[in-house]
Amino acid sequence: MIPPPGPFLSACSFWARSNALPLRFDEPRVVEALEEAEALAERPADEPAAILFAFSKRPNALPEGWTFVERCALNLARVNLRAEIALETPDALDFLRLRVLANQASFDDVRAFIAARLRPIR
């Protein structure tokens, strides 16, 4: 399930404090990203891609929080799909994010990228 704004921002704040990171966020843009992710995710399998896509389009929603968004997507895959997202390189999601930001990747592209890398948890 795509988290509601309150719990999402609480978890993000906890993550930032735990990692001694600054936390700035634009709450209206975070809410907008979460609403778009909810609308895009027609089924649980779409949720990791939806949250990545929606926040990739809004880099200023959580300027220092991209790693948190990545972890949310990885967690959604684990919890909802009992799967891991197997990435070829540590920065694979960064490159995907940049493609979305440059309008070179659609939600369908992100969904296909994630689906191709899902591996069942054993």
- Say what percent of the chain tops pLDDT 70: 100
DSSP label at residue 2: P
Q: What is the pTM of this model?
A: 0.94
Specify the DSSP class assigned to residue 4: P
Report the C-alpha gap between 47 and 35 in whole angstroms: 12
Say how far residue 12 (Cα) sits from the centre of its chain.
12
Count of structural domains within the chain: 1
**pLDDT at residue 21 greater than cutoff 90:** no
Q: Which residues pair with 115 in a beta bridge?
A: none
Q: What is the pLDDT of residues 57-70, one digit of tens each?
A: 999 999 888 899 99
User: Which CATH number fits the domain that encloses residue 63?
Assistant: 1.20.120.1870
- Evaluate whether 40 touches 55 at the Cβ level (below 8 Å): no
Q: Which uninterrupted H or E stretch holds 11?
A: helix 5-18
Quick check: 22 pLDDT over 90?
Answer: no
Length of the chain: 122
User: What range does the domain containing 103 cover?
Assistant: 5-120
